[in-house]
Structure 1
Amino acid sequence: MLSKKFKHKIVSGFISCMLVLTATAANAEKTLTAAVPVPVDTVWGNAFKRYAEIVSEKSEGELRIRVVGPESIPAQEQMQALRIGMIDILSTFPGAYRSEFPEANVQEISNVSVDDQRKNGAYAKLKEVFDNRFDAELLATYAEGLGFHIFLSNEIKDINDLKGLRIRTAVLQQPLLKALKTQPINIPIPEVFTALERNMVDGYSWSSLGLSDMGWDTMTKYRVDPKFYNIIFNVFLSNKAKEKFTNDELKLLREAAVEFEEKINVELLEAERKEYANQDSLGIKSIDLGSELPVLARKVYWDELTRNSKFASELKLLMDIQ
């Protein structure tokens, strides 16, 4: 029969062993924090979650990414959070850091593919800026092929009919809307539905995806085609965060970014196709203004950027096909 003292040693040893195993498991699994500028359960939040899934799969669960949205860190503060290492990864759009990088929107107005930007050196120039200004590595760029539309409450016959219309907009679309002689109106996103409901605006400019997330699809009658500009989301890794990882883990994060970029672009284009079909089913009609609209959109924004920036002029040579 075992003595009480011996039993105590066995129990103590078992507990110690379990603590060691638990600590080992905890050390084996690393959790990264990533931020997105939109609610995590929207189409764009869910898109980035695909990267988290790929990282988890490739690492066999040893690397996990916890995704938070603007309810945790406001969108305009997320780049600073990345810079100081408060978060490890950030997926965001250029407008979120335009105040610190005035030429940021070149990615959205470029008509050169991301692959070609990598080949001609434009992408390397952007990566250098991000590294120097934000202390972050650019891992991936996605949503290529998607764009923006003007959505309206009432029908127009041609591009001249946009003159005078009150259009809710963001900074990116303002040069175009001013060129079209509309009345660009800045309304916070949560207030757009009420503005449409009360006829405070005649329409809004928004991405080709996400209307149903906002509930605006039920208040929209017309979509102006073709789409213009590019929807761009960049994925950044904080340089400070790199200290947490081994070289193999960093390699995995980069390889996962390449795989993510390839897969998510295909998935988002399919989501866009379904979005258009859904808009058709809701009775949202297309008004095709022809190629004049996207050409004008690019021209007016490039003109604005290059007027004030030599760097924008350098990028235009690489990122704008005439």
Structure 2
Amino acid sequence: MRIPMKSTVLAIAAGVALSGPVSAEEVLRAVTAFPAPVEFAKSFLRFVDKVNAMGEGVVRIQYMGGPEVIPPPQQAQAVRRGVVDMQYGPGTYYLGDVPEVDAWVGSTVTAMEARENGGLEAMREVYKEKLGAYLLGHVDTGITFHIYLTEEPKMTADGGVDLTGVKLRSQPIYREFFDSLGATSVSVPVPEVYTALERGVVDGIGWPLVGIQDLSWDKFLKVRIDPPFFQTDLVIILNEEKWEGLSDEAKAILTKAAAEYEQESYDYYQANIVETDKAVRDAGMEVVTLEGAAAQAWLDSAFETAWARLKASGSPQYDALRAAYYNR
């Protein structure tokens, strides 16, 4: 789906015009990469509520919508060009422009730790240089990924899984890992995953435990492979000029809200993971748990694909980011 940028600008302008009288508050127009029913879109709306409560009379986020407003692959450029002021979603959607995003994919630390060890600040410099954006925060961390399948996988003699020829719904962060497992990566937008599973276009997906039931994908997914790997790369960014033009008071409110929400969202999703794990097991999902050397090889293969991809990009930030974000 492609939405002409000119039409998008007009639609957003119309939305602003209809939103009511101009107030003293500084308004930030925001979009998300996820449809409203997805848990991660709900998380961003909790952040919006937090900012709007803290910033009453000073700064307010106006939520414009998700993929129906601007297709996710175009959202970062929409922020760069000032079509919208703020965006929330996976950094890997613009991995080609910002290869350093892989530091989050391969991260083993929380956002709170990265604020303390210089990781976040290093990423802010990258975003300013390569995307013309201000990185407000890395939220919803501590969420890891799994491979889910419609059928039980074949096992190897050494206790691993054989995914040769298995069609997996993929995205850039998974591709090399899935290739290393012999699987076939298939690109399917999130709104079309249900139909792809229903029709057998894919035999499984890569996805966090969080949100797996939101769009009823668990109706088809019968098996989960453990241990989990990677970490979410969900970030909130702003147009750099918009950020610089905000009042000091507005910046302070947004900064405080983002730092607090990094911890709040981490805590929320740790509890959510436990609840969801129980729910899917109770609903009949089988969990294939790799152990010992097989589990170690699984994790090493996953994490090293992210760091190898970042190193191959030639990023001068590779060493600093690996030191800040990876401690396996």
**TM-score using structure 2 length:** 0.84
1:44 aligns with 2:49: no
Distance (Å, rounded) in 1 between the aligned partners of 2:120 and 2:55: 28
Q: 1:26 to 1:317 in 2, by over 3 A?
A: closer
Specify which of 300, 303, 309 is matched with residue 304 of structure 1: 309
- Contact 1:167/1:201 (<8 A) preserved: yes
1:25-48 per-position Cα deviation (integer Å, ceiling 9, x unaligned): 842344321111011342111101
Aligned counterpart, 2:272: 271
Aligned length: 298
Distance (Å, rounded) in 1 between the aligned partners of 2:76 and 2:305: 27
Q: 1:282 to 1:242 in 2, by over 3 A?
A: same
Give 1:125-140 correspondences, 5 Å limit: 125-140=122-137
Aligned counterpart, 2:117: 120
Distance (Å, rounded) in 2 between the aligned partners of 1:48 and 1:251: 19
Following superposition, the deviation at residue 187 of structure 1 comes to: 2.6
Amino acid corresponding to residue 303 of structure 2 in structure 1: R
Q: Identity over aligned residues, as a percent?
A: 28
- Contact 2:92/2:102 (<8 A) preserved: yes
Following superposition, the deviation at residue 107 of structure 1 comes to: 0.9
Q: 1:86 to 1:308 in 2, by over 3 A?
A: closer
Q: 1:41 to 1:61 in 2, by over 3 A?
A: farther
1:256-288 per-position Cα deviation (integer Å, ceiling 9, x unaligned): 111221211111222222221221122111111
Following superposition, the deviation at residue 105 of structure 1 comes to: 1.6
Q: Which moved more, 1:75-84 or 1:220-229?
A: 75-84
Distance (Å, rounded) in 1 between the aligned partners of 2:309 and 2:252: 39
1:316 aligns with 2:322: yes
Following superposition, the deviation at residue 126 of structure 1 comes to: 1.1
1:180 aligns with 2:181: yes
Distance (Å, rounded) in 2 between the aligned partners of 1:41 and 1:166: 25
Amino acid corresponding to residue 309 of structure 2 in structure 1: E
1:173-229 per-position Cα deviation (integer Å, ceiling 9, x unaligned): 111111111122223333322332233322111122222222211111111111100
Distance (Å, rounded) in 2 between the aligned partners of 1:285 and 1:197: 19
Q: Which moved more, 1:65-74 or 1:159-168?
A: 159-168
Distance (Å, rounded) in 2 between the aligned partners of 1:311 and 1:113: 23
- Contact 2:92/2:233 (<8 A) preserved: no
- Contact 1:306/1:312 (<8 A) preserved: no
**TM-score using structure 1 length:** 0.85
Q: Which runs of 5+ in 2 are unaligned?
A: 1-20
Specify which of 66, 74, 81 is matched with residue 71 of structure 2: 74
Aligned counterpart, 2:107: 110
Distance (Å, rounded) in 1 between the aligned partners of 2:195 and 2:23: 49
- Contact 1:138/1:235 (<8 A) preserved: yes
Counterpart secondary structure, 1:105: helix
Counterpart secondary structure, 1:81: helix
Amino acid corresponding to residue 87 of structure 1 in structure 2: V
Q: 1:252 to 1:296 in 2, by over 3 A?
A: same
Q: Which moved more, 1:47-56 or 1:182-191?
A: 182-191
- Superposition RMSD in Å: 2.1
- Contact 2:112/2:262 (<8 A) preserved: no
Larger radius of gyration: 1
Q: 1:84 to 1:119 in 2, by over 3 A?
A: same
Give 1:125-274 correspondences, 5 Å limit: 125-156=122-153, 157=155, 158-242=159-243, 245-274=246-275
Q: 1:301 to 1:312 in 2, by over 3 A?
A: farther
Aligned counterpart, 2:81: 84
- Contact 1:83/1:240 (<8 A) preserved: no
